[in-house]
Amino acid sequence: MADLAVVELAVPFPKSVVPISSTHSSISDYQLKEHASSAAPIIEPTSVPGFSPGWRFYAIFGSLCIITLVVALDATTISVALPIISQALHGSAIEAFWSGTSFLLACTVFQPTFAAFSYSFGRKPMILFALMLFTIGAIVAAISENFTVLLGGRSIQGVGAGGMISLTEVVVTDLIPLRERGKWFGFLSITWAVGSVSGPLIGGSFAGSVSWRWIFWINLPFCGLGFVTIPLFLRLKKPQGELYDKLVSVDWVGAALLPASVTSFLIPLSWGGVMYSWSSWRTLVPLMLGVFGLIGFIVFESSIPHQPLVRMEIFKSRTALANYFGITVHGMLLWCLLYYLPLYYEAVKDYSPLISGVAVLPETFTVAPTALVAGILISISGRFRWAVWTGWSITVLGMGLLYLLSPTTSIPAWISLNLLPGLGIGLLFPGMEFAVQAAAGQNDVAYAAAMYNFMRAFGQSIGVALGGAVFQSQFKRELARYPELSGKASQLSQDASSLVQLIKAMAKDQPERAMIVHAYADSLKVLWAVMAGLAFVALVVSSLTKGLSLDEELVTDQGLRED
């Protein structure tokens, strides 16, 4: 559930909006310190004059918030409704699992492609194309009568969502100087949080009271609003050159190799231990092909394309490497929380889908305000490492405390336990985003912004797969402790979501029900412990982050047009 702003817009952008402090001879000299010294440079806070957003900027930013909101809604509304959708379409647990995974997978693999293509074909056309795909996918999913059509619609939606997420971040880097981006990224986080918080509530309400199809129909008014506001307000400079030259300049090899390799890597992670065993050739062969494909992609991008899909320069500092690793772990933690916490409330606490959506509010409601406040403080102080280090420290503690969740946990107790993870994850959103963008330099900052979202989405996909593997193996062990259930252990442990309806269908006084509930809760304890361990590793790695300057000039060839 991410990490998820110019001079007065009546006049054109100046080529440089940020004066360099006299402490530093130049931006490039300062950034070279990242590679030359292990000691963190001392940053002197400076103001950023000349940044005064006008009405056009607010209109553009409002348009970006609209498409961010619709993606957040669609990503989260389906989670609490999966058991009901599975029952309505007579789907298996595997099909229900893939209706969520297909969206996330498609959203992940095409993000770098949309960002790279926007350099050749322009930001606005690519955003509108992504929005069109998202809208088509929503309609297909809404009218589906079987899981095959539903999965197709969700996949098309995912491709569009990936483009919308990636290009929103890229456009922000076109419009706003680095020092000022914190609060505006914070507002996008607020928008994402509103969608994430509302999503489970809307999904649970529609699935339980109206129809699960409205989970997809609700997207259309927001999409229609985006189709109006984006062409009207987002008037950016267009990339120069003829269409043929643009087509030739595109890194088509990379555009094919990266999605294919990432898909080949993530799909077996998703079905390993669920559809096929981890030792099956159906799991191992695509997994290895994905690994070799990613290695080949890195080699190709480093040496061949004139205009690569991903610029490898953004990884050439220890600050960038440390925080891209952290972003991946951040995505894993975030999606495990969004996916498994509602299931805890439905399966263990026996809450309805709607109440389960309300129950995740202590977590989701703290993320965005924390991200906004942290972004503002970073913009004021010019320092971001405190947010990274503090964020990981709180996240480690918060994920560890979730181990205390059990069938008998009281309402005040689980509300309290859910606050800390949200605070820690919220601090990390702006902290790591500033880190990777400062490390990249402004010439490559759009690539860094796109990679920030890609790595988080990549982590989310891994997180769902890892969470499923941990839950399945532990749940099988827990069930085997009960003689009455040991023979059903393998069957029952296939999927956490499918168990919800089974548990709810059992009589309250049925002994087997209590056994399954306790096994479910104890299995989730192990999952939270694993996530806390990953967060601790990320905390240790984050110590490599350097305190780079945020006072950099705005560099873009697709800023706002004067008209």
Q: Is residue 552 part of a domain?
A: no
The verdict on 298 and 323 lying in the same domain is: no
Lookup: tokens for 461: 């996909």
Q: Are residues 141 and 123 in the same domain?
A: yes
Q: Which of 27-36, 85-94, 113-122, 253-262 has the lowest mean pLDDT?
A: 27-36
* Residue 272 lies inside a defined structural domain of this protein: yes
- Other CB atoms within a 10 A radius of the CB of residue 124 amount to 19
Provide the β-strand partners of residue 276.
Answer: 272
Q: Judge if 269 and 359 occupy the same domain.
A: no
**At a CB cut-off of 8 Å and minimum separation 6, what does 558 contact?**
118, 122, 123, 174, 236, 237, 238, 239
pLDDT, residue 37, reads 36
Q: What is the pLDDT of residues 15-41, one digit of tens each?
A: 333 332 333 333 333 344 343 333 333
Residue 387 to residue 407: CA distance in whole angstroms: 34
* pLDDT category of residue 386 using cuts at 50, 70 and 90: very high
Pair 260, 326 in one domain: no
511 occurs within a structural domain: no
Residue 555 lies inside a defined structural domain of this protein:
no
Do 272 and 312 belong to one domain? no
| Predicted local distance difference test score (pLDDT) of residue 178 | 79
Better-predicted residue by pLDDT, 241 or 416: 416
The pLDDT of residue 139: 93
Q: Is 508 contained in some domain?
A: no
Q: Is the pLDDT of residue 183 over 60?
A: yes
514 in any annotated domain: no
Verify that 215 and 117 share a domain, yes or no: yes
Between 79-88, 135-144, 400-409, the lowest mean confidence (pLDDT) is in: 79-88
Q: Is residue 347 part of a domain?
A: yes
Q: Could you give the dihedral angle defined by the CA atoms of residues 434, 54, 44 and 312, in that order, rounded to the nearest 10 degrees?
A: 30
Residues 159 and 299 in one domain: no
Q: Which of 3-17, 24-38, 304-318, 514-528 has the lowest mean pLDDT?
A: 3-17
Q: Are residues 271 and 353 part of one domain?
A: no
Sequence-distant (6+) residues with CB within 8 A of 354 are 80, 201, 204, 205, 208
- 75 versus 156: the higher-pLDDT residue is 156
We report the CATH number of the domain holding residue 405 as 1.20.1250.20
Domain that holds residue 387: 27-238+245-250+307-477+524-544
Clarify whether residues 222 and 341 are in a common domain. yes
Same domain, 58 and 139: yes
Output the pLDDT for position 489: 64
pLDDT band at 480 (very low <50, low <70, confident <90, very high): confident
Of 69-83, 100-114, 220-234, 482-496, the poorest mean pLDDT is in 482-496
If pLDDT is split at 50, 70 and 90, which confidence band does 465 have?
confident
pLDDT score of 494: 64
What percentage of the chain has pLDDT greater than the value 70? 82
Query: In this structure, is the dihedral angle defined by the CA atoms of residues 451, 82, 145 and 215, taken in order, positive or negative?
Result: negative
**Amino acid (one-letter) located at 115:** A
Side chain identity at residue 413, one-letter code:
A
Using 50, 70 and 90 to split pLDDT, how confident is the model at 563? low
Mean pLDDT of 140-163: 89
Q: What is the 3-state secondary structure (H, E, C) of 97-152?
A: HHHHHHHHHHHHHCHHHHHHHHHHHCHHHHHHHHHHHHHHHHHHHHCCCCHHHHHH
pLDDT for 137 = 93
Model pLDDT, residue 30: 35
Res 326: pLDDT = 95
More confident residue, 392 or 371: 392
Q: Which of 142, 147, 66 is nearest to 102 (CA)?
A: 147
Structural domain count, the chain = 2
Asked if the model's pLDDT at residue 75 lies above 80, the reply is no
Residue at which a domain ends, from 306, 325, 350:
306
**What's the CA gap between 288 and 70, in Å, rounded?**
35
Torsion of CA 532, 535, 537, 543, to 10 degrees: -140
Q: Which residue did the predictor score with more confidence, 268 or 242?
A: 268
pLDDT average, residue stretch 98-112:
81
Predicted pLDDT of residue 560:
59
Query: How many residues can be counted in the chain?
Result: 563
Rg (C-alpha) for the chain, rounded Å, is 23
Q: pLDDT per residue over 387-446, tens digit each?
A: 999 999 999 999 999 999 888 889 898 888 888 998 999 899 889 988 998 888 767 787
Domain termination residue (choose one: 264, 283, 306): 306
The pLDDT of residue 453: 83
Q: Are 338 and 233 contained in the same domain?
A: yes
Strand partners, 196: none
* Residue 222 maps to a domain: yes
Are 468 and 359 part of one and the same domain? yes
